[in-house]
């Protein structure tokens, strides 16, 4: 193996390295045909769209691999501080369009394909989504990876390579059914299997004390070993050669197990047993934020952090022979608490394996971790039962106890014997089920705790982590979430992308997103209005076609497209939306025929998955279908109102729906959405927002001005007061009326919807659906009024896109890099 050194040889190698693969359409065409013939193994004279996709993907993959190698060679030479992003979930969606755009070869590929008789868009449609995550948190990780690559940061992502991604949602009779997403069925050209990058991960067993250096040392004697194999997913930056890696781990049987069973002759059972190891990375848990204390989930968490840490330490040791510089070279980012076992694991490695004294190890640990929390309520924080942890990872449990012992000891010196507070802050929760509070562990050892919006930060300080904030105010910060304009404008809305570039006179905004604000200068230009409206109409037509193909419902493209797409949760209040639709329907029904002409036509679009065990959320989906079948088949209503449920909402559906939306709804009860990132995608695409003052919406409002969106609902500080009132809380008559319609079986399924109706009944209405109903209807009326004034609407739409720069993940990642991780860009010059 030859490596880079200095001098003439290096010069020569650098010269050789200069772009092995050519990107002109003729070379690309040859490349695609080669892959058809030799990789896909179809005849180059006869292949279909899917095979064209496979060949194209492999051709792109070659280019990604080249850039990955170059980036790593360069980083190895420079050895900068790296950021390691640990997340149990990533929602990458499709990769083809994103990759060719970031590589700057989309048009060349499109031309090469068209000469072969294929259309790029059609070929790109063949790809399935990589859905290794649930919702906002997972898509955020994906957006941030794109930004880290584009901004040339020396970053790695680590996660799990689930064989089954998030379930596919199938609707039968209006009810959600879950089908497994065996996404690897057709192969995955976007990953590189690294059969040589494997690490043993151990579980169970006992802890023993052995003599060491005249004292005692604890040693973990594990009971089971599983092998972690690396699968690398290249993440290309835009406008740079830098291509970083998302390394996902798959579980494989280890050769260190079961030797005895072989010897006893039970060969078949021994093999079957070995194979069970693979279940660790087999399936993504489909519920966000309900923690069930399942062993498999804990195994997944430890499996992924143990393998990642071994990999990180191995890389560090390539260039260092002690741990003194570890905090200057390594930043470890915990994406929520799911990876937080890595804290105990790093302590274990440093103390038990590297023989550092505890204080020295702790010193290092306290310098490398930063923690981002995405949670808004103490009740939702992750807890791991001590019994479970103790049996799976006995040594880690001891280490956590030791960390907590020292922490509580110090704390007593500071706050005395306020036992209530001590017990609230303890990493160990004593209760019916003794458990470890993963958030407390993370806060104790992280140097920085970030929230995901300013409002979220306020909640962290005043409610969720109040005790910790008072102890360590310097640790608490926020970095408002952002989304990548590459995926959410350039890939998903190419017409808007060209229009923006035309009016700004540059494509530079794709990397320097602040330039988007330049659109404000043209916000009164009639010519821009005309072009803007045309682009939006084309997107609506595309969406209308999709709706018709999928549901058979023909929608009027001149109607306002009103969209709410996100996971179904009580706090997100899809129920409020549906009750509002029922109200609108009821009004139309009760109108004189002549008056109906004044109604602003709407197409209401709802989409989202409910966690399989979340009964109320599933009922919301059923209600949506029940109401839709009534409204959509009522001749009195016609084109004035349609309700469409889009099944199996995922990243690629979002790419289609968001550019076609006129209005989008983000209507969580104030104080329940930590940030919200869907709203930012709509904003970038010039969709107007109907929203509560929750999460990142508050900052969006500051950026746009309240007059450019439709705000409603109880404010953050009012919510607890309103809840106090319970049954005495006034709800409007219209609300009682629409709930009664559902209750009385107007839409059928009376019995089924009972518990749903009960959940918003006076005294029981935790999410304040009834209280907010009136102001919700007012905001909807304001939206209707604005929609009729086409110029006003168009100006608001342009101002939305112009005001979206602050909500780019590029800005978020720069803030993290400078303020939390202490890393600098490192741009590959090859
Ligand atoms: O994270 C997003 C935020 O924009 C949303 O407001 C927030 O709800 C979301 C356990 C979660 N919080 N917690 C989760 C997901 C999976 C899981 O297993 C918790 N997701 C959020 C990005 O900051």
Token pair listed for 786? 């604005």
Ligand 1 touching residue 140 (CB < 6 A): yes
Q: Please check the confidence at residue 689 and state whether its pLDDT lies above 60.
A: yes
The residue written with tokens 């990780």 in the block is 141
Q: How many CA atoms lie within 13 A of 520 on its CB side?
A: 13
Interatomic CA distance for residues 186 and 650, integer angstroms: 19
Average pLDDT score over residue span 481-510:
98
pLDDT, residue 273, reads 83
Q: How far is the CA of 135 from the centre of ligand 1 (A)?
A: 7
Residues 304-338: pLDDT tens digits? 999 999 999 999 999 999 999 999 999 999 999 99
Q: Please check the confidence at residue 291 and state whether its pLDDT lies above 90.
A: no
Q: Where do the DSSP E strands lie in 239-285? A: 243-253
Q: Could you tell me how far CA 768 lies from the centroid of its own chain?
A: 27
Predicted interface score ipTM higher than 0.85: yes
Residues 380-394: pLDDT tens digits? 999 999 999 999 999
Interatomic CA distance for residues 418 and 398, integer angstroms: 25
Contact (CB, 8 A) for 243 and 63? no
Q: Could you tell me how far CA 173 lies from the centroid of its own chain?
A: 30
Ligand 1 touching residue 237 (CB < 6 A): no
Q: How far is the CA of 91 from the centre of ligand 1 (A)?
A: 12
Confidence class of residue 4 from pLDDT cuts 50, 70 and 90?
low
Ligand 1 atom closest to 481 (CA): 23
pLDDT, residue 269, reads 86
Which residues make Cβ contacts (< 8 Å) with residue 176, sequence separation at least 6? 169, 170, 609, 610, 618, 621, 622
Q: What is the 3-state secondary structure (H, E, C) of 647-702?
A: CCCCHHHHHHHHHHCCEEEECCCCCCCCCCCHHHHHHHCCCEEEEECCCCHHHHHH
Residues involved in catalysis? 374, 566-567, 572, 677, 681
Interatomic CA distance for residues 488 and 594, integer angstroms: 42
Interatomic CA distance for residues 561 and 555, integer angstroms: 9
Counting ligand 1 atoms within 8 A of each CB, the residue from 86, 135, 301 with the most, and so the one to mutate, is 135
Output phi, psi for 553, to 5 deg.
Answer: -90, 125
Q: Please check the confidence at residue 16 and state whether its pLDDT lies above 70.
A: no
Counting ligand 1 atoms within 8 A of each CB, the residue from 86, 132, 137, 143 with the most, and so the one to mutate, is 137
pLDDT, residue 311, reads 98
Ligand 1 touching residue 375 (CB < 6 A): yes
Q: Please check the confidence at residue 265 and state whether its pLDDT lies above 80.
A: no
Ligand 1 touching residue 677 (CB < 6 A): yes
Interatomic CA distance for residues 804 and 796, integer angstroms: 12
Average pLDDT score over residue span 747-768:
97
Token pair listed for 83? 């950021």
Interatomic CA distance for residues 484 and 811, integer angstroms: 10
Q: Which of 575, 382, 635, 487 is nearest to 141 (CA)?
A: 487
Ligand 1 touching residue 662 (CB < 6 A): no
Q: Please check the confidence at residue 11 and state whether its pLDDT lies above 70.
A: no
Ligand 1 touching residue 137 (CB < 6 A): yes
Q: Please check the confidence at residue 258 and state whether its pLDDT lies above 60.
A: no
For helices 96-103 and 106-115, the axis angle rounded to 10 degrees is 120
Other beta carbons within 10 Å of 216: 10
Residue by residue, DSSP assigns 601-612 as PEEEEEE----T
Confidence class of residue 9 from pLDDT cuts 50, 70 and 90?
low
Contact (CB, 8 A) for 138 and 91? yes
* Alpha-carbon torsion (42, 48, 54, 60), positive or negative: positive
Token pair listed for 811? 């800005």
Write down the pTM of the prediction.
0.97
Ligand 1 atom closest to 677 (CA): 4
Confidence class of residue 216 from pLDDT cuts 50, 70 and 90?
confident
State how far the alpha carbon of 122 is from the alpha carbons of 28, 51, 52, 462, 468, in Å: 18, 12, 10, 51, 53
Confidence class of residue 35 from pLDDT cuts 50, 70 and 90?
very high
pLDDT, residue 10, reads 64
């Amino acid at each position: 193996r030859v490596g880079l050194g200095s001098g003439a040889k290096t010069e020569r190698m650098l010269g050789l390295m200069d772009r092995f693969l050519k990107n002109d359409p003729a070379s690309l065409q040859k490349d695609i045909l080669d892959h058809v013939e030799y990789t896909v193994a179809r005849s180059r004279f006869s292949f279909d769209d899917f095979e064209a996709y496979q060949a194209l993907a492999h051709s792109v993959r070659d280019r990604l691999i080249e850039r990955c190698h170059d980036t790593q060679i360069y980083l190895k030479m420079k050895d900068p501080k790296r950021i390691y992003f640990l997340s149990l979930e990533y929602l990458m969606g499709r990769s083809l369009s994103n990759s060719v755009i970031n590589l700057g070869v989309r048009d060349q590929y499109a031309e090469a394909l068209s000469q072969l008789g294929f259309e790029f868009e059609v070929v790109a449609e063949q790809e399935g989504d990589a859905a290794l995550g649930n919702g906002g948190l997972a898509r955020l990780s994906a957006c941030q990876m794109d930004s880290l690559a584009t901004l040339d940061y020396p970053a790695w992502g680590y996660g799990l390579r689930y064989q089954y991604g998030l379930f596919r949602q199938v609707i039968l009779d209006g009810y959600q059914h879950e089908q497994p997403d065996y996404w690897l069925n057709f192969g995955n050209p976007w990953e590189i299997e690294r059969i040589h990058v494997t690490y043993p991960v151990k579980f169970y067993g006992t802890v023993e004390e052995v003599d060491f250096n005249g004292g005692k040392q604890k040693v973990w004697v594990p009971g089971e070993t599983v092998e972690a194999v690396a699968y690398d997913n290249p993440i290309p930056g835009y406008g740079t050669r830098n291509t970083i890696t998302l390394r996902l781990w798959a579980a494989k049987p280890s050769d260190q197990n079961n030797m005895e069973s072989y010897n006893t002759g039970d060969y078949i059972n021994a093999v079957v047993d070995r194979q069970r190891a693979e279940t660790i990375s087999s399936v993504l848990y489909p519920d966000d934020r309900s923690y069930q204390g399942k062993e498999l989930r804990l195994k997944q968490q430890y499996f992924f952090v143990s393998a990642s840490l071994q990999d990180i330490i191995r890389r560090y040791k390539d260039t260092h022979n002690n741990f003194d510089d570890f905090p200057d070279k390594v930043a470890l980012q915990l994406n929520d608490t799911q990876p937080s076992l890595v804290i105990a694991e790093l302590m274990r490695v440093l103390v038990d394996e590297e023989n550092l004294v505890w204080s020295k190890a702790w010193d290092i640990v306290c310098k490398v971790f930063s923690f981002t929390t995405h949670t808004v309520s103490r009740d939702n924080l992750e807890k791991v039962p001590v019994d479970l942890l103790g049996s799976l990872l006995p040594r880690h449990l001891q280490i956590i106890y030791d960390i907590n012992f020292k922490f509580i000891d110090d704390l007593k010196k500071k706050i005395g014997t306020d036992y209530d507070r001590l017990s609230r802050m303890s990493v160990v929760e004593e209760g019916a089920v003794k458990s470890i509070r993963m958030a407390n562990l993370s806060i104790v050892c992280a140097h920085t705790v970030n929230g995901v919006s300013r409002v979220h930060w306020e909640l962290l300080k005043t409610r969720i982590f109040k005790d910790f904030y008072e102890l360590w105010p310097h640790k608490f910060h926020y970095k408002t979430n952002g989304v990548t304009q590459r995926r959410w404008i350039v890939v998903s809305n190419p017409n808007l992308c060209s229009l923006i570039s035309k009016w700004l006179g540059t494509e530079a905004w794709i990397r320097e997103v602040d330039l988007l604000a330049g659109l404000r200068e043209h916000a009164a230009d009639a010519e821009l209005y005309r072009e803007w409206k045309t682009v939006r109409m084309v997107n609506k037509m595309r969406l209308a076609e999709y709706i018709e193909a999928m549901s058979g419902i023909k929608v009027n493209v001149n109607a306002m497209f009103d969209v709410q797409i996100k996971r179904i949760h009580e706090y997100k209040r899809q129920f409020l939306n549906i009750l509002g639709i029922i109200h609108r329907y009821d009004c139309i029904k009760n109108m004189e025929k002549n008056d109906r002409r004044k109604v602003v036509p709407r197409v209401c679009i709802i989409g989202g998955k409910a966690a399989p065990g979340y009964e109320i959320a599933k009922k919301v989906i059923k209600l949506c279908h029940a109401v839709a079948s009534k409204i959509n088949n009522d001749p009195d209503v016609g084109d004035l109102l349609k309700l469409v449920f889009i099944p199996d909402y995922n990243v690629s559906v979002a790419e289609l729906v968001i550019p076609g939306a006129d209005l989008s709804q983000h209507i969580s009860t104030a104080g329940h959405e930590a940030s919200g990132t869907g709203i930012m995608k709509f904003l970038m695409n010039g969709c107007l927002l109907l929203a509560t003052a929750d999460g990142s919406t508050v900052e969006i409002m500051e950026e746009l001005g309240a007059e450019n969106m439709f705000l409603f609902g109880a404010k953050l500080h009012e919510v607890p007061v309103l809840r106090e009132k319970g049954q005495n809380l006034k709800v409007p008559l219209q609300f009682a009326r629409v709930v009664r319609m559902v209750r009385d079986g107007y839409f059928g399924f009376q019995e089924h919807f009972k518990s749903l109706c009960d959940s918003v009944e006076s005294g029981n209405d935790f999410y304040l659906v009834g209280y907010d109903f009136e102001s919700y209807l007012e905001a909807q009326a304001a939206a209707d009024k604005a929609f009729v004034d086409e110029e006003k609407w168009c100006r608001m739409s342009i101002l939305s896109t112009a005001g979206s720069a602050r909500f780019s993940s590029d800005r978020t990642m720069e803030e993290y890099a400078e303020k939390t991780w202490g890393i600098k860009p490192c741009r590959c010059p090859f």
